[in-house]
Amino acid sequence: MTRHYPHIVVFIAAILIAGNTSSAEQLYSKQPPTTPELAVVGPFAVGVTTLNVVDDDRLNTGNFITSAPRPLVLEVWYPATLSAAFDKNTPKATYSDVTRLQKPFELQGEAYRDAVPVSEGQFPLMFLSHGFTGYRTQMFYLAEHLASHGYMVVGIDHKDSTNAEVFDDATRASGFISTLYNRARDQQFLLDYFSNPNEALPILGLKARMDTNNAGIIGHSMGGFAALNTIGACYDFNAEQLKKIGAPAIIASLLPFRLNSCFAGREEIDPRWKAIQLFAPWGGEFNAHDAQAMATMTVPTFFVAGDQDNTSGFDNGVKKLFQQTGSEHNYMMVYENARHNIAGHPAPAAAFDTDFELGHYVEPSWKIETINRVNKHMTLAFLDCHVKQDDARCQYLPNRESVEQYQGADRQYSEPWPGFKHLWGSGITFYRQ
């Protein structure tokens, strides 16, 4: 005889609902066994905290005469200790922002909010610099991954350039001018900020874990455009270029005097910069960087591009920048049939209502989750090789151009790229220069 206990069913359902109050979206599926080796989570638990910092004296791009405070909101990921207060039952962090059409969303992360940092060791400091427009958590998957492998990672909300701040023609125009001037300066300011012994951080012990003498930048689009300048690719704007971008004639004639600079406005490169990774960097099609300065750069560089990029361009855009770069260690990875969205997380549900919104997140020929996993693998190989000076990780940077293994006949195969599973790489090329 079957017995029914409706009151127990209702009680259990109430517990489940009460324990699952978060509305955050989970964008990622479980890592399959075909995941590239270095895309697997590292040995550290990950903490995350939000910081607000201010550059007290930055040139005001509204008039290029006065100065004004420039506030920056940061998300900081770090190797953490899961104490009794932060065990595996503690809810993980979520990340909230808005789309370009100001629609709010909340995403589920894998880090623990304000967890206790590990008690010893120092870890290289990486900065994530988003595109125009974007937000500080747009590459949270990569930040969490790097932190799990022993990096301190700082995502930057670049003022005047975030989704939340750019919402009409007026804010787009002023925001773009601000971006041209401020992006590289934000990157350099923050390295100085975290290096300053007089600047205290709210989480005890966090600053002591930061190795600011070994720093790097991972920039997407305008973030990459700026990172090149920070390490020596001097800007070379002229009035005609700026008119093509959309600047009014009078402003276009004056802007080069303010914009054209090297090393984020300094006289020489900061030697603490050890590597930069550039996802679809903007500027090549407009010759925004001085070619002679590009040729003298020495910091290891890793370009990542889609060969159908219709924002930064490929042949006369990212590829040209790669070819102009003089660094001894200079690499480029290309996703075939991909466009510009090769750095960020998959699209949140709020972005699915319009083509305009989806155009900020998706790739027609690629699953973004697949791109993210390849990015995690290749980024870690590059940074471990050139920032941590780990020779073993240098071996993960491919020596064969194409990831394809099949030779075309008689079941003949090449070896997979290092760390890739047999026959689980397709549509990617890798170049060394």
Chain segment 274-298, per-residue pLDDT in tens = 999 999 999 999 999 999 999 999 9
- What pLDDT does 237 receive? 95
What is the C-alpha separation between 56 and 236, in angstroms, rounded? 27
Domain range enclosing 370: 45-397
Residue 15: pLDDT band by 50, 70, 90 thresholds?
A: very low
Rounded Cα–Cα distance for residues 381 and 39 (Å)? 10
- The whole-angstrom separation of Cα 348 and Cα 388 is 34
The first and second tokens of residue 428, run together, are 């990617």
User: Who's near 100: CB < 8 A, 6+ residues apart?
Assistant: 133, 163, 166, 167, 356, 357, 360
Yes or no: say if 338 and 308 are a contact pair by the CB < 8 Å rule: yes
Q: What is the pLDDT of residue 287?
A: 96
Q: What percent of the chain has pLDDT over 90?
A: 88
- Look at residue 411 and tell me if it is in a domain: no
Torsion sign (Cα): 168, 172, 178, 183: positive
Task: Work out the pLDDT band at 88, boundaries 50, 70, 90.
Answer: low
Whether residue 2 is contained in a domain is answered as no
**Domain assignment of residue 230, yes or no:** yes
Within a domain: 20 = no
- Which structure tokens are listed for 314? 């490929």
Write the pLDDT tens digit of every residue in 333-380.
Answer: 999 999 999 999 999 999 999 999 999 999 999 999 999 999 999 999
Which residue from 430, 432, 402 is spatially nearest to 416, judged by alpha carbons?
402
Query: Average pLDDT for residues 121-146, to the nearest whole number?
Result: 98
Compute the radius of gyration of the chain from its Cα atoms: 22
Indicate the SS3 state at residue 343.
coil
Question: For position 19, what pLDDT does the model report?
Answer: 39
Residue environment code for 194-216, b if the CB has 16+ CB neighbours within 10 A, otherwise e: bbeeeeebebeebbebbbbebbb
Number of domains making up the chain: 1
* pLDDT, tens digit, 9 for 90 and up, residues 202-258: 999 999 999 999 999 999 999 999 999 999 999 999 999 999 888 888 888 999 999
pLDDT at 8 over 70: no
Asked, for residue 321, whether it belongs to a domain, the answer is yes
Q: Look at the alpha carbons of 330, 281, 345, 163 in this order and tell me if their dihedral is positive or negative.
A: positive
Q: 145-159, 255-269, 406-420: which range is least confident on average?
A: 406-420
Determine the distance from the C-alpha atom of residue 58 to the mean position of all C-alpha atoms in its chain, rounded to a whole number: 24
pTM of the shown model: 0.93
Contact of 241 with 290, CB cutoff 8 Å: no
Residues 223 and 190: beta-carbon distance below 8 Å: no
Q: 409 pLDDT exceeds 90?
A: no
In a domain, 37, yes or no: no
Q: CB of 146 within 8 A of CB of 78?
A: no
Residues 307-325 have pLDDT tens digits of: 999 999 999 999 999 999 9
Instruction: Please name the amino acid found at residue 396.
Output: Y
CATH code of the domain in which 333 resides? 3.40.50.1820
In this structure, the chain runs to a length of 433
Q: Give the pairing of strands 210-220 and 273-279.
A: parallel
pLDDT at 20: 42
In a domain, 38, yes or no: no
Quick check: is 303 in a domain? Answer: yes
Cα distance between residue 185 and residue 396, in whole Å: 33
Would you state the pLDDT for residue 106? 98
